[in-house]
Structures are given as C-alpha cells and as structure tokens.
C-alpha cells in the first residue's frame, strides 16, 4: 500500500515548496499516480505547417476551392511551411485526468473543474455526473480554461506544450510525417464506425474515453514510447496565442488579395498582388511570378498566384522555435475531439491550427490538455 502524503510532504516530494498550502483539505488524501512522459530527443528539426488546403470530409471534390476562379471568390490562405528546430522536451503520454485534477483542487491550487452551466461536466447523457464520479477517474478533465490548465501543469512542475511541440509529436519527424495523430490512419474514411477512435465523425457518438483506452489511437516515438489520444477524445490546449503568420519571416512585398478593397481599386490591388513587381519572374511572355526566398504564393503555377508573405530563406532554416514570432489573443487548441464531425473534420489533421478559444473564459466539453516540460 502506498504511503498517504500530506499536502506539505507532497509539495516537498515534487520540489515545489508548500507555502500557502497549510491546512489544505487534501491532508491525508492519497495522491493519484503521476503521468509517465515521453522524451522527445530525436527528430527535433521538422517541417511545421502544411502547404495544402484542408478539406472537410463532407465537401465534395466539385465543391472544393481551387486556384482557378474570378477575383470575387474567397479562398483560404495557405501559409508557407518552415523547418523548425526544437529543444529536447518531454510530453505526457496521456491527457490529464479527472482524478488528477481533483487532487490539485483539493490541494487548494487549482480552481474547481465543474462548470455550473454544464453540471458535472456531462457531455453525453451516459456520462452524467462525470467530473466527480469515480467511474470516470481515469477519463480526461474537460471544461478547464487555458489558465486553469496552465495552473495545473505548474502544480506538477510542468507546463503546457507549445503548438510546435504538439505538432512534432502528432506528426512525428519528417521521416514519418503522419497526416493524422495516430500511427495507423492514412485516411479519415478508415476510422468511420471504428469504436476505437473517440470522435463524433468516426463513431457517431460523443462519449469520452479513458485516457489510455486502446492501442489504436496512439503515436509511437522512435524509442518505442506510445503517446495516447492526441487524435479524438479531448482536443487539447497548447501554450500559444494566435499568430496566423507564425511560419513567415515577414510580411509580403505586395498586398494580399484578401486585404484588397472592393470595387475598381480592389481589382487593381488584386492584379498587383498576383503579379507582384518585387517578386522574381520566369522567362515567359507575359512573365509570371516564381517561388523564391522573398515571395511565397498561395497557388504557385496556377492562374491565381497570390502573394502571402515573405518566407524564411532556405539558408535560414531550420529556425529555432524561440525565434518564431509570438501571438496575441485567443489560445490555440489542437487535435480532433469527441465533437469533431464531418463538417469540422479538418481539425483532426496534425497541422490544423485554426481552432481558437479565449484562454481566460472558454470552458469546452471537448477540450482537455496534457502537460510537457523541457529536457536538459
């Protein structure tokens, strides 16, 4: 039988100190098991981002955007990819659980994980009384804000993973390059009806699973360590705030099409964007823009060559993660979840970074988190 720790002895054991915890209601409460971590020491130079459009599974091929189109058609922006260099780090092999989070609350550090607007964090009727129910001790804590997630990770001597770290683990090194954060899934159509993938799109229900539910929804590192449920179950907070042009070295040399005004002046702006005078040209007649270290286009070689930004020069890559620009505002959530349907299936991909939530107030029934830390 494990020795029961007091609040103070646990703080000492974790190297966190215990000032301010005297008299905690956790006195005599057995601490939950700590989460094992996967060490990421190889494949630290990897290609971050995607240079392809992401299409939801319910959008037919005929309905998908192409670079062919008149000036009034709105297209999603494709940002350049960039090779990033990470420092060695470790990441939890599974999401933080209800029982782990409840212990942090009992210690007087974390705020309560129960959202009064959604009693006991229930998201499916079958999981009513979810947060406080011992049946769901080993299920992911959800409806914690970004600030609460960061608070918990600090409590256990860790931090939230950056979105670059999260993507490296989900994608794997460049030699692996998974499209989805699971070893065995090349296409989303392979997961439909499969009970091992906890997403609405894959199994048509929104029941949360245990954090280590199966051997299917895992990614495996080169050292053999398995990391669970970055795909499905709960989506996950990352440390980062929004920065759309994270992979850019600087702004574009000409206006982007989406920044052009309407009307005649907008037509001129769009034409200048597609044929930016500052960008290198090919030898054709008329000459066309070509890809270079100074110009990155949304659709190179297509009628709609729209400049996006100035990418990092090949000679400047890999770029240290610390050199990437910082974002502001809403925090980035990564990974598909129990709420992911056909109409939002893009977010299951390893490079999807457009789900944003207010870090101080957003409490979502399909968003949890895992922790990370720096390695020496």
pLDDT digits (tens, 9 = 90+) for 40-64: 999 999 999 998 888 888 888 777 7
69 is written with which tokens? 């189109």
**Residue 101 is inside which H or E element, if any?**
helix 98-106
Q: Model pTM?
A: 0.89
Sorted by sequence, the CB contacts under 8 Å of residue 297 that are 6+ apart come out as 289, 291, 305, 306, 307, 308
CA distances from 156 to 37, 59, 64, 73 (A): 12, 43, 45, 49
pLDDT digits (tens, 9 = 90+) for 198-251: 999 999 889 999 999 777 789 999 999 999 999 999 999 999 999 999 999 999
pLDDT score of 140: 95
Give the Cα separation of 199 and 214 in Å (integer): 14
Q: What is the DSSP string of 140-201?
A: BP-S--HHHHHHHHHHTT-BPPPHHHHHHHHH-STTT--SSSSTT-SSGGGTTT-TTS-SHH
Q: How confident is the model at residue 94 (pLDDT cuts 50, 70, 90)?
A: very high
Q: Which of 240, 239, 214, 238 has its CA nearest to residue 228?
A: 214
Q: What is the mean pLDDT of the chain?
A: 86
Q: Would you list the domain boundaries of the chain?
A: 1-31, 46-247+312-376
Give the Cα separation of 337 and 355 in Å (integer): 12
134 is written with which tokens? 């011992």
Give the Cα separation of 269 and 261 in Å (integer): 8
pLDDT score of 7: 39
CA distances from 290 to 18, 178, 248 (A): 60, 29, 17
CATH number belonging to the domain at 46-247+312-376, selected among 3.30.470.20, 1.10.287.70, 3.90.1580.10, 3.40.50.10490: 3.90.1580.10
Give the Cα separation of 83 and 81 in Å (integer): 7
Give the Cα separation of 58 and 161 in Å (integer): 31
pLDDT digits (tens, 9 = 90+) for 242-285: 999 999 999 988 888 778 888 999 889 888 888 888 888 888 88
**Size of the chain in residues:** 376
CB 329, CB 242: distance < 8 Å: yes
Higher pLDDT, 258 or 2: 258
Give the Cα separation of 21 and 7 in Å (integer): 7
């Amino acid at each position: 039988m494990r020795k029961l720790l007091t609040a103070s002895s646990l703080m000492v054991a974790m190297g966190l100190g215990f000032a301010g915890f005297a008299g905690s209601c956790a006195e005599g409460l057995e601490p939950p098991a700590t989460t094992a971590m996967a060490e990421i020491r190889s494949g630290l130079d990897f290609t971050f981002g995607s240079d392809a459009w992401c299409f939801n599974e319910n959008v037919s091929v005929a309905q998908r955007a192409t670079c062919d189109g008149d000036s009034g058609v709105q297209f999603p922006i494709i940002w350049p990819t960039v090779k990033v260099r990470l420092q060695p780090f470790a990441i939890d092999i599974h999401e933080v659980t209800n029982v782990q989070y409840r212990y942090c609350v009992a210690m007087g550090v974390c705020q309560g994980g129960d959202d009064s607007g959604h009693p006991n964090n229930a998201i499916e009727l079958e999981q009513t009384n979810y947060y406080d129910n011992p049946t769901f001790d080993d299920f992911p804590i959800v409806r914690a804000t970004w600030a609460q997630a960061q608070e918990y990770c600090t409590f256990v001597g860790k931090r939230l993973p950056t979105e670059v770290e999260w993507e490296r683990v989900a994608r794997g090194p460049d030699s692996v390059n998974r499209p989805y954060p699971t070893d065995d899934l090349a296409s989303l159509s392979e997961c439909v009806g499969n009970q091992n993938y906890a997403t609405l799109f894959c199994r048509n229900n929104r029941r949360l699973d245990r954090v280590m539910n199966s051997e299917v929804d895992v990614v495996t590192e080169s050292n053999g360590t398995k990391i669970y449920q970055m795909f499905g179950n709960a989506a996950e907070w990352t440390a980062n705030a929004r920065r759309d042009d994270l992979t850019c070295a600087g702004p574009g040399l000409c206006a982007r099409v989406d920044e052009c005004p309407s009307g005649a002046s907008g037509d001129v702006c769009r034409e200048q964007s597609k044929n930016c005078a500052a960008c290198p040209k090919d030898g054709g007649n008329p000459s066309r823009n070509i890809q270079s270290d100074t110009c990155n286009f949304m659709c190179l070689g297509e009628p709609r060559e729209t400049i996006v930004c100035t990418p990092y020069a090949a000679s400047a890559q890999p770029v240290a993660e610390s050199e990437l620009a910082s974002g502001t505002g809403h925090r980035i959530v990564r990974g598909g979840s129990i709420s992911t349907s056909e109409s939002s299936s893009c977010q299951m991909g390893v490079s999807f970074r457009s789900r944003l939530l207010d870090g101080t107030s957003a409490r979502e029934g399909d968003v949890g988190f895992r922790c990370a830390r720096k390695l020496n």
